Structure 1
């Protein structure tokens, strides 16, 4: 194989050559690329998990405040950043494949500036007055106002999170999948130390309010560590310097992908939050079981999501070349890998459901309920892995709009209404919510596969060329 794309080291920055593909080489490439991405996503997951764990050491009230505040942060900030960054999955990978490395840097600047103006600055007043909103949703005014204080501090950390999300895409488009791993390998240990000194330390600790300070600093450290990485890697070859004129113009094509990308991500985030709220109606045991199921599902999610990122980059490159035959071939391999991952995740969760439940609780009733929820979560893995990888293929094609429609229909017309009926009308309680989710994700996966198999690849290439700057 003489393709630069198939080498372990970073590829050359010219147009990527068309070459003979094989099942072994392409599967190996996706596996090698996914490894560091899985580590990156797990480390990023640890930032918030550590904040929750440390806050829980302060007491149950502090744990409730941080849990609600981080839930609000994820729904408003993180989901928007991840959703809008999907436009870079399309633009950067296609530009790199087309042999336009400097445009990768331009798109990174454009998306970052756009997100600062469209999300960060508008979110600041939302965070500042979030207590007024949260008082309508939670019974305790004290809880709402403490969350408001937490989110006000987090305002200063959200730009760091934004640049980390867009920075990951900048490097991933160049097959530098280790960038996020190295950055978080620096940030996570520092995050542990910051939590000790700012939250728990008897002399320097600030108590609960030290937690958002530590998390905000860690977001910025992650971004700065990635910037340092750029100077010591080939990633800087895609950087032509700051160009405010190019960054502040031609937002239309990017917004057409970014906004549907937000809908794709936000639809799934909110669906799980609604399930958690509904599960609370059935008592603390059901709520605990739902929380365990969601948490385990979030951890397992990292594997297919990492694969989907690698797939997005790979297919996007060949669309940029353009080599539609290679893109179609990799699409088929990716769907096959997704099915295998679904089977693997099912076996792990199904066989380990009781042991996993015991990691979270010693209560016999909670363990029993959580084991049943994890059995349903395991079943959901079959279609969810296909859904996640298929969403990556749609991002590579620049078809986020299709994905947004499918997500809205699957979650809000099928999954949640059906889950509500099964839970409250048929008295299946939290298990009914998960059964509704399984049906919705099944429809979502089938819809995505149908759209992918009917793709007009020649038209996708034409659209790709028209969207990119000349």
Structure 2
């Protein structure tokens, strides 16, 4: 149902023209200054809105990053072998566990955000989350069995220090405890974010940071009542439980619980199909992004525990810093999804453009700061001079990867908001595994560049991802995405109606539903 009016609307969006001004006044022939003023007003209005939502999420992402950094720093001060053990444990978790988190989270971002603003209000947001949790409970059985019996994977690492492997096994035991907390909190967070509620995330993550800091101070020091190494994963467990509890309490005692609806298994089969079709590509994207570094970890394991420890620092630092980008990706994903669900394709495209522009500017400042304070960053993570000397030459590449990863997170967020996770997954697999991986191994082993070659290859892969996803976003058929959203949420027999409705486009996110004030949280 792509009519000529839609083509004109999309062209107007490219120059920043607001849908509020797509009326008869335009057909009468407005002069250029008026159009410029209208475009400027649309951009500034959208930028202000996104800033009000992105700032809390950026703060929350930074807090979450500091939680990870505290854990990393505690291990760095315990010794390089515990740090290397954590790296091996993360190898298994990233490949077999976290794709589940990315899959469920990505699927819920598309489904919940579009369902929340869908005119046919039927509290599908809570139902989607409930069914996602049931799917996870089933899958988690197999994950737990694997993590408690990791011998198959560790036998592949014959040259790895046996003490490092024991540290890794210990970490996996604790992962079995707190990983379910991470997944449940991920699903509950999407329930809240779909309603445009970003600020509570700050308090959730702050509770985890405080719990991590206090636990590390009490449990890690080897003197007194401290437990040494074992205190670090125990502190992480306490922190993730604290975040989950804070999330549950918020949903239980704030009006946003109205979207939860009754516990029901009705429509579970169809919801599961949607979760799988949207979630599998997100999981593949997660494996593609994090699995690349994990493959490097397998190779680096043969170089000795010192190199493995450096790789652990690089991986953990990338994950910690880039997490802010993933949080910003959630903001734009929910924003685009809300606008598509409300049948506002022009505003959805404008929202994407504003978010990408602001992210590129912010990443430039981040890169400058990281390059200026390289030595300070390395010294903060560890006091081991051997690790510091190995880290410094690699930090510029880390900066490049982090910046590109943050920008690509926002681009992927736009695609998730549209429900196009599949194409994003294809891009990541081709860029990282077909192109970047062979390049990285050639640089690392054939040219003897070691870790530097690995990260140079990873950098090139993210360059390709950013360019390809950027092209996809700007070449999108936004009115077509609205049609697909209606069929996805309301059923395959739904027809497109009221795409150019007269709803206030910002109302679902800024003010909640006018028809139900109790939904304002």
**TM-score with structure 1 setting the length:** 0.85
Match of 2:157 among 116, 128, 137: 137
Match of 2:282 among 237, 246, 261: 261
CA separation of 1:37/1:57 partners in 2, compared to 1, >3 Å: closer, same or farther?
same
Q: Deviations over 1:50-106 (max 9, x none)?
A: 444445555554444344334433443234212321001101111112143711111
- Cross-structure match for 1:43: 63
Aligned length in residues: 452
Extract unaligned runs of 5+ from structure 2: 1-18, 22-40, 492-521
Using the TM superposition, give the Cα deviation of residue 385 of structure 1 relative to its aligned residue in structure 2, in angstroms: 3.5
Q: Are 1:29 and 2:45 counterparts? A: no
Q: Are 1:103 and 2:124 counterparts? A: yes
Q: Deviations over 1:198-219 (max 9, x none)?
A: 5548676555445444433432
Using the TM superposition, give the Cα deviation of residue 448 of structure 1 relative to its aligned residue in structure 2, in angstroms: 1.0
Which shows bigger deviation, 40-49 or 165-174? 40-49
Match of 1:159 among 173, 180, 183: 180
Which shows bigger deviation, 443-452 or 427-436? 427-436
Using the TM superposition, give the Cα deviation of residue 281 of structure 1 relative to its aligned residue in structure 2, in angstroms: 5.7
Q: Deviations over 1:430-453 (max 9, x none)?
A: 332232222211111121122222
Using the TM superposition, give the Cα deviation of residue 280 of structure 1 relative to its aligned residue in structure 2, in angstroms: 5.5
d(CA) in 1 for partners of 2:474 and 2:489?
25
Using the TM superposition, give the Cα deviation of residue 291 of structure 1 relative to its aligned residue in structure 2, in angstroms: 4.6
CA separation of 1:378/1:281 partners in 2, compared to 1, >3 Å: closer, same or farther?
same
CA separation of 1:224/1:33 partners in 2, compared to 1, >3 Å: closer, same or farther?
same
Residues 417-428 of structure 1 mapped to structure 2, 5 A cutoff: 417-428=438-449
Which shows bigger deviation, 84-93 or 44-53? 44-53
- Cross-structure match for 1:112: 133
Match of 1:80 among 79, 86, 100: 100
Q: Are 1:147 and 2:198 counterparts? A: no
d(CA) in 2 for partners of 1:65 and 1:438?
25
- Cross-structure match for 2:85: 65
Which shows bigger deviation, 193-202 or 108-117? 193-202
Which shows bigger deviation, 453-462 or 185-194? 185-194
- Cross-structure match for 2:145: 125
Aligned-residue RMSD, C-alpha: 3.0
Largest Rg, 1 or 2 = 2
Using the TM superposition, give the Cα deviation of residue 154 of structure 1 relative to its aligned residue in structure 2, in angstroms: 3.2
Q: Are 1:332 and 2:321 counterparts? A: no
Using the TM superposition, give the Cα deviation of residue 186 of structure 1 relative to its aligned residue in structure 2, in angstroms: 2.4
Match of 2:431 among 410, 424, 431: 410
The structure whose RCO (Cα within 8 Å, separation 6+) is larger is: 2
- Cross-structure match for 2:319: 298
Q: Are 1:384 and 2:405 counterparts? A: yes
The answer to whether the 8 A contact 1:187-1:221 is kept is yes
The answer to whether the 8 A contact 2:106-2:279 is kept is yes
DSSP-derived class of the 1:405 partner: helix
Extract unaligned runs of 5+ from structure 1: 1-17
Q: Deviations over 1:252-296 (max 9, x none)?
A: 122100011100111111112223444556667765655544444
Using the TM superposition, give the Cα deviation of residue 170 of structure 1 relative to its aligned residue in structure 2, in angstroms: 0.8
Which shows bigger deviation, 105-114 or 79-88? 79-88
CA separation of 1:425/1:447 partners in 2, compared to 1, >3 Å: closer, same or farther?
same
**TM-score with structure 2 setting the length:** 0.78
Residues 8-27 of structure 1 mapped to structure 2, 5 A cutoff: 22-27=42-47
Using the TM superposition, give the Cα deviation of residue 233 of structure 1 relative to its aligned residue in structure 2, in angstroms: 2.7
